[in-house]
């Protein structure tokens, strides 16, 4: 594949991604396309926040990872995960896991995180990562405008080939796009406390302009069912129950922002 064709392929995939951490279809619409692009066998997206000064995992969606593994992570291993150090820090670009060794957990012996927590990292690797076959690894974190950290991880199991340099390059492009996308989410108005995803904002604006669900679907090239799902989420976030109330809320926020 030529360089131009490769860039076109990755750009086309990025344009289809809509990363919103409260959506139920992230596994199918975000994780699966990226996993296919990278040739990963399993994938997860973890959303983290901070409550009372302490990092907390908000939720996890995944592909190919048993539910029991996610429960074990939340119950016993989150407190050993080095990602906790990122939650309190500031970063203006995607952060990649273990870039020195390209995330190859199975051969990660010499390189451990700096500081006084190397022992807990070794335990995390020994008790959680390797028993669950999280060997070859590409992982990156982005931070959204609500200051949450979104961690995307892609793995291959023991015995699989390493991720190639091309696949790491693809991940770099996707990570940069997602970082820009979620970082640009903003409330509807300057004084509003409602934060909609990029796609939700598009749906809300189309509805406010008077379009029916069918016409919104045609404009955005999505299904009517997807429009309905977005509207349910928009109504819940805005605290409204009708389209008329939604329009009034949007217009009210716009006037307050002027």
Q: Which residues pair with 56 in a beta bridge?
A: 49
What residue ranges define each of the domains in the chain, with the CATH number in brackets? 3-183 (3.30.450.80), 198-257 (1.10.10.10)
Residues in the chain predicted with pLDDT less than 70, given as ranges, are 20-24, 52-53, 88, 98-117, 145-146, 184-194, 251-258
Could you tell me if 216 and 227 are in contact, meaning their C-beta atoms sit under 8 angstroms apart? Answer: yes
Backbone angles phi, psi at 143, to 5 degrees: -120, 135
Q: Which two tokens stand for residue 114?
A: 């700096």
Pairing of strands 42-51, 95-96: unpaired
Task: Write down the H helix ranges in the chain.
Answer: 3-16, 26, 32-38, 67-72, 84-87, 118-124, 165-183, 198-208, 213-220, 224-238, 243-257
Could you tell me if 154 and 34 are in contact, meaning their C-beta atoms sit under 8 angstroms apart? Answer: yes
* This prediction's pTM: 0.66
pLDDT of residue 112: 52
Distances (CA, A) of 258 to 187, 189, 252, 254: 14, 9, 10, 7
pLDDT of residue 102: 44
Q: What are 99-105's contacts with CB under 8 Å, separation 24+? A: 102/138, 102/162, 102/163, 102/168, 103/136, 103/137, 103/138, 103/139, 103/163, 104/135, 104/136, 104/137, 104/162, 105/129, 105/130, 105/134, 105/135, 105/136, 105/137
Q: Mean of the per-residue pLDDT values for the chain?
A: 79
| CA-wise closest residue to 240 among 257, 253, 222 | 253
100: burial class by Cβ within 10 Å (0-12, 13-18, 19+)? exposed
Coil, helix or strand at residue 93: coil
């Amino acid at each position: 594949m030529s360089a131009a064709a490769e860039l076109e392929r990755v750009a086309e995939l990025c344009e289809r991604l809509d990363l919103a951490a409260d959506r139920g279809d992230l596994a199918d619409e975000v994780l699966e396309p990226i996993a296919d692009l990278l040739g990963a066998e399993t994938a997860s997206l973890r959303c983290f926040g901070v409550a009372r000064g302490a990092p907390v995992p908000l939720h996890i969606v995944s592909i190919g990872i048993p539910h029991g593994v996610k429960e074990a992570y939340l119950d016993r291993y989150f407190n050993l995960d080095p990602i906790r150090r990122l939650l309190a820090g500031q970063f203006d670009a995607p952060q990649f896991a273990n870039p020195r060794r390209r995330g190859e957990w199975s051969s990660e012996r010499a390189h451990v995180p700096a500081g006084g927590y190397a022992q807990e990292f070794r335990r995390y690797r020994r008790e959680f990562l390797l028993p669950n076959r999280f060997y070859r690894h590409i992982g990156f974190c982005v931070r959204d405008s609500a200051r949450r950290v979104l961690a995307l991880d892609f793995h291959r199991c023991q015995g699989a080939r390493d991720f190639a340099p091309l696949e790491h390059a693809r991940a770099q492009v996707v990570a940069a796009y997602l970082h820009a996308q979620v970082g640009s989410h903003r409330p509807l108005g300057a004084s509003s406390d409602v934060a909609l995803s990029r796609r939700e904002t598009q749906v809300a604006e189309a509805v406010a302009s008077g379009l029916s669900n069918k016409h919104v679907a045609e404009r955005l090239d999505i299904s009517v069912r997807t429009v309905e799902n977005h509207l349910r989420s928009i109504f819940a976030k805005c605290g409204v129950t009708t389209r008329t109330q939604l329009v009034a809320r949007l217009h009210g926020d716009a006037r307050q922002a002027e």
